[in-house]
Amino acid sequence: PKVTANMSTSYALDNDDICCEICSLPEPLVFAPCNHSACLKCMERICLSKSEHHTRRFDDDNDDESVVEDKIIASCPSRGRCPFCRKCFDIFNLKYLQSNSYVYEKKIKIEDTSLKGLKFSDKKVNNEKMISFENKPEISIYRQINGDREHVATRDFNIAFHYHEKYKIFSGTIDWEKSEEALAEGKYKQWEVIMQFSSDFRYVQRGSIIKTPNNDITSTPEYPMDGEWLVTWQNSGRDSGSVASINVIENSFSCFGITYHLKYESNVVYFDWPTHPGVRQVVESGVDLSRKPSGPDIDSIVVWTFIDPGPQRIVWKRKSNQRTVVDLRGYTFSNISSERRQMEKPVYVPTTPWGNTFIQAYTVGLASYHFISSTGEGEDGAYISYEHERCSSWPTFDNGLTVPSRVPFADLSYDEETRTFRGKIP
């Protein structure tokens, strides 16, 4: 149903048997700013369980505003589209139909949340953002200047913020003063920060920094490759079928959970592969910063080749140069608090699985298998670990919850004669 101006509170109170039009269950209804209503569980599921159907407004909507809105919804765990009119809404703006009160009231004290005392950093080559929840929510910006890490600015979030305890979603805004706009990495007057943390608060799972620009200040060519790109891998000049979408943010991007950093030298653009020492990817064509310092136009093609070793060419097609939305999926905002639980280093025990850790991609915590004790229960027995930051690029479950940091096996057994382990994941 849609809440109309002449729908009185008594009408809602006298009709407690109104069912949700999505799940058809007689649940208490909430409504979005567009005045369409459904039960809270369904409205939250729309935001937390993303698909292209949930994010796009209409098939023929390709104007700049809708493209930015689609990007925000795709990356923000608290944003979604109304299933009735396709307008954007935020779960923190939902109200109960009966009382007309907000479902989630704003908070003022960080002590009222599980974020108290935590700090997260996105350390990169030339700059760093640090978001702290030690005493109050605040953000600090650092930059590498002549090889030294120097503090640039610190700003408190506005006094009231939202935090969803179950889904671990924080939402707050920062108003930059005039003197600080130039420091806000692109001359923006306000940042809206929405973050969903991993189940153990080891890293930020997904979210966005939505930046409101000061239109009186021209943009900087400091990040000429920033924006969204479609990536295609080629072998012998032919597409291999491998395609990915990446977002370059302040000269850095993540692809399949690995973070890369663009570098510029004498009009040459390149980056090194952190997982393959000696492999460097260099722009062959499509970028000429001496003629166009702001970078390639929309739909431009950039061809990359490898400096030995590497048989492939990689083609980037620019989808946007929109710098007002920073997509935090795979952005590696990681927890640097002293309270953070440390992952054990793997050891090798040749006679039994117990005491061993089995890893993939040389990475502990990337769906690694840990065998602790045959007599232990829960994490003291055996478990799968998803604790590494590279898991931050993985999607959430259909219910909106993030991937657990550790998933223990139940009903463990091990046959020494056949060397067969059996266990159940509940």
Mean pLDDT across the stretch 323-333? Answer: 69
CB 101 within 8 Å of CB 95: yes
Could you tell me the pLDDT band of residue 409, with boundaries at 50, 70 and 90?
very high
More confident residue, 218 or 174: 174
φ/ψ of residue 286, rounded to 5? 105, -10
**Which contacts qualify for 64-73: CB closer than 8 Å, 24 or more apart?**
64/322, 67/320, 67/322, 68/322, 68/324, 68/325, 71/228, 71/320, 71/322, 71/325, 71/327, 72/208, 72/210, 72/325
Round to whole Å and give the CA distance between 331 and 303.
24
Q: What is the pLDDT of residue 166?
A: 92
CB 77 within 8 Å of CB 169: yes
Q: What is the pLDDT of residue 397?
A: 83
Quick one: which H or E segment has residue 41?
helix 40-48
pTM greater than 0.85 (yes/no): no
Could you tell me the pLDDT band of residue 12, with boundaries at 50, 70 and 90?
very low
Q: What is the pLDDT of residue 356?
A: 95
Mean pLDDT across the stretch 117-123? Answer: 88
pLDDT at 340 over 50: yes
Q: What is the pLDDT of residue 104?
A: 94
Closest to 419 in 3D by CA, of 347, 345, 349 = 349
Round to whole Å and give the CA distance between 99 and 89.
19
Work out the widest C-alpha separation in the chain, in whole angstroms: 76
Residues 151-162: tens digit of each pLDDT: 888 889 998 999
Q: What is the pLDDT of residue 178?
A: 60
